[in-house]
Amino acid sequence: MKHLSKLPNIETTIFTVMSGLANKHQAINLSQGFPNFKSDQKLIDLVSKAMNSGFNQYALMPGNMELREAISKKFDLLYGNSYHPETEITITAGATQAIYDVITAFIRAEDEVIIFKPAYDCYEPSVLINGGKPVSIQLESPNYQVNWEEMKQKITSKTKMIIVNTPHNPSGTILSKTDMLQLQEITKNTNIIVLSDEVYEHMVFDDEKHQSACLFPDLKSRSFIVASFGKTFHNTGWKTGYCCAPKELMEEFRKIHQFNVFSVNHPVQKGLADYMQDPNTYLELSGFFQEKRDLFLSLIKDSKFKFKPSQGTYFQVLDYSGITQENDVDFAKRLTIENGLASIPLSVFNENKLDNKVLRFCFAKTDETLKKAADILNKI
């Protein structure tokens, strides 16, 4: 049988490729974005407790109510601005499913979706599978700042969605209040939906504040915010996240969500709801990851790699142009095979695989792992 691929140009993701290579060569794996330390035992116990006390059947379609209430309270606490747990919050199978459902709910054939590059890799395929047209805007290394004038030029009568991601994977930059105000101004009085990927909201460093789309009233009225418990609570394998939006937008989202996954792992949701009763569980994260970033950077400060400290996320990008002019995919592979350290080449997230000689390293690792990785980088 012959089948025409619906995504003919999509290859196996670089994360699978680099993690596979890291396993094969027993390299230290700073490529994929996941911690190599355990989730809090208290959370694991709460999930076990939820299983033992009967939370083992389908959750409500939009998610366990206690968890939605806990999320609503969190928005109040952090941003003085909430979403209604009944109608404006839905629990999803990770941020990935939320992103897919937002795009599927609104993107029709020929609709244009503006995506800033480098971009997390699930946005574009989700647009394409729905017949939409990704419109890319390449951000320049090393600052990766958005030129809002340029974005304005890219908006046409077909623009249906703009995807933003702050803190930003892979560059580790954040959008400022001025950036968000610009985005709000440009989209005012349009029908454009904003998909704001905020999975790293609790990892913002150096006393900066996370500028959530919900802080800007007009922006909030057209935005979906997606978030990930896996990123926040060190358990990416549980694939649990959520999505918030005003009621009318959320109604459309749930039409897709209910036939895509219907509902998400119930005991995990109940455990998370109980765990989140203590806000310190998420309030302390920025400090925790800032220490990791600082340790990693202090260890490699005399290496030949150049860097600007990450402002958010648990990623640090390193510029190796002072070492070799080799293409970044080849260099990342060589670093894994010959030196035993896996990273992600940034070109895979860029438009037309633009190669700025930059690699991304995940510092959500034990101090011991970071020291070993730094030893390798210092010898290059």
Ligand X SMILES: Cc1ncc(COP(=O)(O)O)c(C=O)c1O
**Contacting positions for ligand X (CB under 6 A):** 33, 94-96, 120, 165, 169, 197, 199, 228, 230, 236, 241
Least distance from ligand X to the Cβ atom of residue 132, Å: 18
Least distance from ligand X to the Cβ atom of residue 10, Å: 17
Is residue 213 classed as helix, strand or coil in its secondary structure? helix
Report the residue number, 15 or 79, with the smaller CB distance to ligand X. Answer: 15
Least distance from ligand X to the Cβ atom of residue 297, Å: 20
Report the residue number, 17 or 299, with the smaller CB distance to ligand X. Answer: 17
DSSP result, 231-257 = HHTT-GGG--EEEE--HHHHHHHHHHH
Least distance from ligand X to the Cβ atom of residue 264, Å: 11
Find the DSSP H helices in the chain: 14-24, 41-52, 65-79, 94-106, 123-129, 148-154, 177-187, 217-222, 229-232, 247-260, 266-275, 280-283, 285-299, 328-339, 367-378
Report the residue number, 170 or 303, with the smaller CB distance to ligand X. Answer: 170
Q: How far apart are CA 208 and CA 348, in angstroms?
A: 28
Q: Tell me the β-bridge partners of 286.
A: none
Least distance from ligand X to the Cβ atom of residue 34, Å: 8
Report the residue number, 272 or 299, with the smaller CB distance to ligand X. Answer: 272
Least distance from ligand X to the Cβ atom of residue 339, Å: 24
Q: Tell me the β-bridge partners of 204.
A: 312
Report the residue number, 122 or 323, with the smaller CB distance to ligand X. Answer: 122
Distances (CA, A) of 46 to 35, 61, 202, 268, 271: 20, 22, 22, 8, 5
Least distance from ligand X to the Cβ atom of residue 173, Å: 12
Token pair for 75: 């928005």
Report the residue number, 96 or 286, with the smaller CB distance to ligand X. Answer: 96
Angle formed by the axes of helices 266-275 and 41-52, nearest 10°: 130
Q: Tell me the β-bridge partners of 315.
A: 362
Instruction: State the residue number with the nearest CB to ligand X.
Output: 94
Report the residue number, 235 or 290, with the smaller CB distance to ligand X. Answer: 235
Could you count the other beta carbons within 10 Å of the beta carbon of residue 337? 14
Q: How far apart are CA 17 and CA 337, in angstroms?
A: 13
Least distance from ligand X to the Cβ atom of residue 97, Å: 7
Q: How far apart are CA 341 and CA 332, in angstroms?
A: 8
Report the residue number, 122 or 380, with the smaller CB distance to ligand X. Answer: 122
